[in-house]
Chains A and B, each alone.
Chain A
């Protein structure tokens, strides 16, 4: 099965679940007064669910083209690319999301930028840390002082 069809199938399941919720899960919760109106919160989702199922089926049955764009990535040879780097960076982003509040913006961002460069193969450590720290402080200053959006700079325990 090609990736397109797999995604089509996934979307079919998603639409069915969404439709199930729209058709059977929502209307009982509606207060009686709202049941007299012609449009319910579930009306539009019901239409969307039906259309979604049809579109997913269309993707699944339509002939898939094997040719891929020459400059784009061929997912069937994914292991030939820097998959490890990409996955580590995604992991790093998740770590950043989880650590941003507890250890503060400056520490989290410096760590993220430095480790990001490290993962990509940078080995000049002093440059790495310096660039990351300058970047973090500059952006914190811009966001906090120029834009006036609060970002907690230090760890929350301080």
Chain B
């Protein structure tokens, strides 16, 4: 492991990769602040850029930097103008925005930056401890277990979708899996479900799908409801007093410690992700706090800001565990990163650590570097970067729509792709009207191919579907998967009181 860390250090600390992570963080923060472009869309837009980098380690470092930057930028806009770009920063606006209105925007941003930094760093340390252990278990898995594991992962994503949402999330996951079967697959050299259309021969492009599912509906929402992009106007100029006092530091330190660990553990679970981690972190801290402290929550409490910020960053790091060790994304953002890895010809999964140790370790090391850069570079720059929030909506929306289209056009160089994008985007908007979660669709789409490959391989070895019940580990996992789907449904039927409803929308 030490060898790996050193290899990671030497890769991540090369001039080129330092530039990558710095540039990625800056670009991510910049775009992440804009309403309408969440981490998933930004990563998807950056994939063509990353592919031209060619070196997979550098490309992944760039994308990871963009990801951290985007998460940070999202909390900045939710603190400054109460416009969370992504669901995972909604909880940060509960106390962050009141602080801004009290004229303490600088202090709020500093607390957010420190909490994010601590959350991200603790997450990275835990990731370093967890990942290699999980890899050694994962190496024992055969195709049959892989197939079962993916079923468990997808069921968990549906099961954690929230009360009354399990059936919808399951349906969305299946829709994603079905879309993944369109086109020619590696296993069978014949096109399927193309309806005779030439353009569907190579299947749907996942960048197009990511754009259609997340960026486009958000942009349409911005048009439909102008209030969503209402900028505070002039607020950005008033950011001063970036320092916090010693007493305040002592107050938030235990919160950050607790929430970093809790957030990480929630992030590791497939489907739970940063959104649930931040809301749960906020709720837990509010319940723990006593007296006047508790009263202050929601009215500009530093604790109330530190809790969701450290939790969502730790969870973002935690979501890398299943991605790097099992090759299974637990959230929308890691699903997009997985797509990028495949495009870069890196096969994610337990073999990643052996076959491409420089990729594996440099990504982990770059997490530390990314966190440091966000802290020392972005914080002083925030007053200037925040100017982007003053962009007039009349220009912002056409540019967002245009970037969405460019992202999918550049990847395929095919104008039909744009029509698919618009069609899927409109459909995704309607799905959002009805509160259908969209992240499961994308995750299902990305896992679909791998799932079928593993299923086919296992069935070929066993000469039939008998592997499903003859291998104890496979059977066990499939039973867990079934329980995950069925239990919440039964429980919601019996009308039992349930934990607070997690927010709708994609997990970042």
Contacts and interface: CB of A to CB of B under 8 A. Distances in A.
Interface of A: 2-4, 7-8, 11, 14-15, 18, 21, 26, 29, 34, 37-45, 48-49, 51-52, 55-56, 58-59, 62-63, 65, 68-69, 71-73, 75, 78, 81-83, 85-86, 89-90, 93-94, 96-98, 100-101, 109, 112-113, 116-117, 120-122, 131, 135, 139, 143, 147-150
B410 A143 contact: yes
Nearest 10 pairs between A and B by C-beta?
A: A116-B398, A97-B418, A75-B433, A58-B167, A81-B224, A55-B171, A41-B188, A122-B394, A3-B434, A39-B456
A91 to B, nearest CB: 9
B175 A131 contact: no
A60 B415 CA distance: 36
B178 A139 contact: no
Interface residues of B, number: 68
Contact of B171 (A8, A112, A139, A143): A8
A148 B188 contact: no
Contact of A86 (B167, B220, B436, B459): B220
A4 B224 contact: no
B130 interface: no
B393 A68 contact: no
A4 B185 contact: no
Interface stretch (B245-253, B277-285, B400-408): B400-408
21 contacts: A2-B434, A3-B430, A39-B460, A41-B192, A44-B181, A45-B193, A48-B178, A58-B167, A71-B228, A73-B433, A75-B434, A86-B223, A86-B224, A89-B220, A96-B418, A97-B421, A98-B419, A112-B398, A113-B398, A135-B402, A149-B410
Contact of A4 (B406, B434, B462, B464): B434
B458 to A, nearest CB: 9
Contacts of A37: 460
A44 B394 contact: no
B141 interface: no
A62 B490 CA distance: 11
A71 B397 CA distance: 19
Given A44-B455, A45-B192, 5 more contacts: A40-B188, A41-B185, A52-B171, A100-B418, A112-B402
B48 interface: yes
Contact of A97 (B170, B174, B419): B419
A76 to B, nearest CB: 9
A53 to B, nearest CB: 9
Contacts of B433: 3, 73, 75
Contact of B402 (A29, A34, A52, A109): A109
Contacts of A109: 402
B452 A117 contact: no
B26 to A, nearest CB: 16
Interface in B456-484: 456, 459-460, 462-465
A81 B460 contact: no
Contact residues of B: prevailing secondary structure: helix
Contact of A89 (B193, B223, B460, B462): B223
Given A38-B463, A44-B455, A147 B419 contact: no
B455 A62 contact: no
A3 B48 CA distance: 37
A113 B49 contact: no
Contact of B168 (A4, A69, A86): A4
Interface in B429-456: 430-436, 451-452, 455-456
Contacts, number: 182
Contacts of B465: 38
Interface of B: 48-49, 52, 164, 167-168, 170-171, 174-175, 177-178, 181, 185, 187-188, 190, 192-193, 220-221, 223-226, 228, 392-395, 397-399, 401-402, 405-406, 409-410, 413, 415-416, 418-419, 421-422, 425-426, 430-436, 451-452, 455-456, 459-460, 462-465, 489, 503-504
Contacts of B221: 72-73
Given A45-B178, A55-B174, A81-B224, A21 B193 contact: yes
B52 A58 contact: no
A120 B398 contact: yes
Please indicate which of the listed interface residues B175, B178, B192, B193 has the most CB atoms of chain A within 10 Å of its own CB: B178
Given A97-B415, A120-B393, A143 B406 contact: yes
B459 A120 contact: no
B223 A97 contact: no
A69 B504 contact: yes
A98 to B, nearest CB: 7
A7 B170 CA distance: 14
Given A41-B188, A51-B174, A149 B48 contact: yes
B406 to A, nearest CB: 7
B171 A82 contact: no
A122 B399 CA distance: 14
Given A3-B430, A121-B394, A18 B49 contact: no
A150 B174 CA distance: 36
B434 A7 contact: yes
Contacts of B409: 100
A90 B223 CA distance: 11
Contacts of B187: 39, 41
Contacts of B451: 44
Given A26-B192, A97-B405, A120 B394 contact: yes
